[in-house]
Amino acid sequence: MAASHATGVRATGRCLCGAVAYEVRGPMRDVVNCHCKQCLRTHGHMAAYSRVRRADLVMAEKRGLKWYQSSDAARRGFCQECGASMFWDLLNDDSVAIAAGSIDAPTGLKTIRHIFVADKGDYYEIEDGLEQLPKGQAPS
């Protein structure tokens, strides 16, 4: 479903099999590419995430949604049916990160920076000219 099809819906998205689907009913941050060790292991490569206010993320289907506590500070949401990585949730925060590849096109988003580049895989280079932070996230 495209964002323009429902009143108040900015974007929609889902996992590969459809057992996890969502609507975003507010602004989305542009995409940040994360190269941390956890994202490399979870996604098999770096991860690309947008971010939304928690109150603006509405689950349309969650029968497949499973959460994995990946650290003391965060958890990761994935589809337990198809294995798609969907969310990164910083606990005690009012926002949640959404895997950019799960958002239905057109997203209207662009990639704005790379984070945790000190941890990136040794098999690739980052050559797009965007800001690169050795560790965490710059203020949005």
82-107 pLDDT, tens per residue? 999 999 999 999 999 999 999 999 99
- Length of the chain, in residues: 140
pLDDT at residue 136 greater than cutoff 90: no
Beta strand 57-61 with 47-53 is unpaired
CA distance 119 to 35: 6
Q: Which two tokens stand for residue 9?
A: 């819906």
Give the start-to-end residue ranges of the domains of the chain. 3-122
How large is the average pLDDT for residues 112-117? 97
CATH class held by domain 3-122: mainly beta
pTM for the full model? Answer: 0.90
Provide the mean pLDDT of the chain. 93
Amino acid 138: pLDDT = 59
Cis before 27? omega within 30:
no
Contact 50, 62 (CB under 8 A): no
Burial label, 127 (beta-carbon count in 10 A; 0-12, 13-18, 19+): exposed
